[in-house]
Structure 1
């Protein structure tokens, strides 16, 4: 049986009646990496990790929201410090690229928050899960290099050729979503990026188009992604399954 791991999912954002099906509804899904959005999300994901053996938590603060206040951020960081043994990574953290396309919010405060998370990842030797695309990715690379971070996972990455080369040179990982089926930009990224530094994800419950239109985002969509990766890389699908599984278990110490 071809086992899969969803390397990035927001399980706490699903309707409660769908959660059991998402976690246990397909026997090919071997593990899920659940990233957090804020403190309440961290607490919920901690509970999920205690309830579901295959669910692994990452704790962080998603950047695509109003900048968290100093007091709230201190409360979040204090909670993570106490609870860090219950997480396998820092995440999801990064910079608010999409929010800044809508309103010209200053980025400096977000960079400061991100640097705190990167410092903690370095201190605890934890992987870090990053929301960093297009023009924001080089800024994040600067911080990762400053702290000599080795285990960085750029989820649903998008960027120019220069930044792609930089990620490859630094041995950073990326993860591919089901939009690989219909997005030329992601297909080209897969063509360029070493499969040894690649994972697969859903970013669920984020909805997808094409053959997934109108369907609840489920980790089993990853099978379609893997078959597309195999086609682009011109490799046997069984080898791609094996490599992606190995990459994810090794990166996250599963």
Structure 2
């Protein structure tokens, strides 16, 4: 199994060690460790350099204030320096939650940063990992289509039926979180979206409710997500698990052990 989206660098050191040790005991092929800013990119690189199961992605998370030009330039420089060992550019996207708190929010600089990273991903032939939900997903689809981007992953997606149809037409991937066990909205997305376009993630250390209330978010939780997907789709569990693993490996071009230079 592969956790398709986790903020491993946000965990405490002892939690990171526990997670990485547990991967070996639970038949995991690894996890996709996304980044949120310059310091996060450096931490993710360090984690991936010390453990072959950590597959790094560099990016800038949009739910924060606009960074200075120097930070964005340095993130781009890191991506260019290490792009042969990165599996994606991410997490990038638009600030849906931040914007909802401010009626006078200026979205334009966020769109410009997003487009900058999309163009970089196209140049380096890397997938993009996207934070884009509800109406923001339409704006992101506009940019992806404008630049003919096909390898896009909308993590923890939530949105309208029309947006889902547009994303399905473009064969964009989405990933399902453990809240699929108790959120009707996510269960309905699973029903509608093609199984071959699905991955699973935790978005840890974000914590969940239901059977996960009060628990540290851990990649093993995706076992229950896969079981729920299998039940909703009416497909055998092993078939669903194998398809999701193969989809994730193919999308992120994961081929066994990585050699970090």
**TM-score range normalised by the length of the shorter chain:** over 0.9
Unmatched runs of 5 consecutive residues or more in structure 2:
255-261
CA RMSD of aligned residues (A): 0.9
Unmatched runs of 5 consecutive residues or more in structure 1:
none
Q: TM-score when scaled to structure 2?
A: 0.94
Task: Quote how far apart the aligned CAs of 1:208 are.
Answer: 0.3
- For residues 226 and 213 of structure 1, the distance between their equivalents in structure 2, rounded to whole angstroms, comes to 19
Task: Quote how far apart the aligned CAs of 1:74 are.
Answer: 1.8
Contact 1:56 1:88 (8 Å CA) reproduced: yes
Contact 1:130 1:152 (8 Å CA) reproduced: yes
List per-residue Cα deviations over 1:118-160 (Å, max 9, x = no partner). 0011001101000000010010001001111110000000100
- For residues 27 and 202 of structure 2, the distance between their equivalents in structure 1, rounded to whole angstroms, comes to 15
- 1:123 maps to 123
- 1:86 correspondence with 2:75: no
- 1:237 correspondence with 2:251: no
- 1:169 maps to 169
Secondary structure class of the residue paired with 1:49: helix
Contact 2:58 2:75 (8 Å CA) reproduced: no
List per-residue Cα deviations over 1:168-190 (Å, max 9, x = no partner). 00010000000000000000000
Task: Quote how far apart the aligned CAs of 1:101 are.
Answer: 1.1
Task: Quote how far apart the aligned CAs of 1:227 are.
Answer: 0.5
- For residues 159 and 251 of structure 1, the distance between their equivalents in structure 2, rounded to whole angstroms, comes to 22
- 2:16 maps to 19
Contact 1:46 1:86 (8 Å CA) reproduced: no
- 1:217 maps to 217
Contact 2:178 2:202 (8 Å CA) reproduced: yes
- 2:150 maps to 150
- 1:111 correspondence with 2:111: yes
- For residues 113 and 174 of structure 2, the distance between their equivalents in structure 1, rounded to whole angstroms, comes to 22
Secondary structure class of the residue paired with 2:246: helix
- 1:49 correspondence with 2:48: yes
Secondary structure class of the residue paired with 1:85: coil
Contact 1:42 1:60 (8 Å CA) reproduced: yes
- 2:259 maps to none
- For residues 162 and 74 of structure 1, the distance between their equivalents in structure 2, rounded to whole angstroms, comes to 36
Task: Quote how far apart the aligned CAs of 1:77 are.
Answer: 1.7
- For residues 53 and 134 of structure 1, the distance between their equivalents in structure 2, rounded to whole angstroms, comes to 35
- For residues 172 and 91 of structure 2, the distance between their equivalents in structure 1, rounded to whole angstroms, comes to 16
- For residues 87 and 40 of structure 1, the distance between their equivalents in structure 2, rounded to whole angstroms, comes to 16
Q: TM-score when scaled to structure 1?
A: 0.97
- For residues 82 and 226 of structure 1, the distance between their equivalents in structure 2, rounded to whole angstroms, comes to 36
Task: Quote how far apart the aligned CAs of 1:22 are.
Answer: 1.1
Residue correspondences, number: 251
Secondary structure class of the residue paired with 1:229: helix
Secondary structure class of the residue paired with 1:29: coil
